[in-house]
Amino acid sequence: MSSQTPLKGLRVTELQAIGPVPFAGMLLRELGADVTVINAPGNSNLGLPVKPEFDLFAAGKSAIELDLKTETGLALLHKQLADTDVLLEGFRSGVMERLNLSPNALQQRHPSLIIGRLSGFGESGPLASRAGHDINYLALSGVLHAIGNEQSPVVPLNLIGDFGGGAMHLLVGVLAKLVERSLSGSGGVVTTSILAGTIGLTPMLYSLLADKQWQTDRLNNLLDGGAPFYCVYKTLDERFIAVGALEPKFFKQLLVLTQLEDTINVDKQYKRSTWPDIRNHLSKRFAERNRDEWANDAQTLDCCVTPVLDIYEASEYSHNKANNWYTATPFAQPKAVIQFSS
């Protein structure tokens, strides 16, 4: 294994924001970059509304306070950017321009700088300057409507829009620009938004929709909990087991696990008319035993059945610990989960 992370020596400046931008900065730092956060005066929150010692987004980053509404603050920022490879910002559309920090102005002064811009609703359109949060972007992308039960959509935390959509697309763009700069020597601008990034996660759904394999009714599709072999069941101890037996070979092993081989016809797995009956049998069977009893038995079969763990249990789960994905000091927290070999 290499002792060097691939971005060692890269210098990143992160303008204070919440959510996806500090998360992107955190990942760049985990990849080896030196990250400095520019905070507004009197505000030391680097990305999470928690006490500084618990802010995982801030770990390993440096921080300075600058008032970017003053000439002195702007001068100090430009001094910082003269020694910076990547600038990350997550303001609403137009804010950087009002601070005289437009991409054109920054590129003229710092030609090798890569500018990563992440807004909420995008750079243009009637919502460009509006405030929003993950739930709003999910709503406008069509994703929120697809998640939940028959009665109502269910909010899936802010992992899809903020982090999966916004931060990850921003990072892909920044890393691509770094590769380009290594060839051309020139920096450039990467622009995306949380809404655009969320839409960018949905090509599979549109492919299924075009092929008439997806319906807009919730809990009526293969991957939204509608299929009885890809959903969650409550167990005797009021906990839950996750079933992901999509392929027939895994579905057959699921029936072995639940001792329903003689009750459910494995050949009719994908016949929708059988789904209510399959769900009824599986629901009754899983309710007969505790979650961990099912989970232990499932380890002996390739049936895609796992316990639904809470976040505390996940940090103590044997497989996760065996892979060293968490650290217990100073408190349970995820570690860098990407490894590099020389």
Active site residues: 133, 162
Residue 35 burial by CB count (10 A; 0-12/13-18/19+): exposed, middle or buried?
A: buried
Residue 204 burial by CB count (10 A; 0-12/13-18/19+): exposed, middle or buried?
A: exposed
Q: How far apart are CA 182 and CA 72, in angstroms?
A: 32
Q: How far apart are CA 42 and CA 27, in angstroms?
A: 26
Helix axes 168-184, 20-30, angle to 10 degrees: 50
In this structure, what token pair is assigned to residue 334? 């995820």
In this structure, what token pair is assigned to residue 108? 């003229």
Q: Are the C-beta atoms of 119 and 90 separated by less than 8 Å? A: yes
Question: How far apart, in Å, are the Cα atoms of 67 and each of 39, 41, 87, 261?
Answer: 8, 6, 17, 68
Q: Give the 3-state secondary structure of residue 191.
A: strand
Q: Give the 3-state secondary structure of residue 144.
A: helix
Q: How far apart are CA 213 and CA 26, in angstroms?
A: 38
Q: How far apart are CA 64 and CA 81, in angstroms?
A: 13
CB-based contacts of 298, cutoff 8 Å, min separation 6: 241, 257, 305, 306
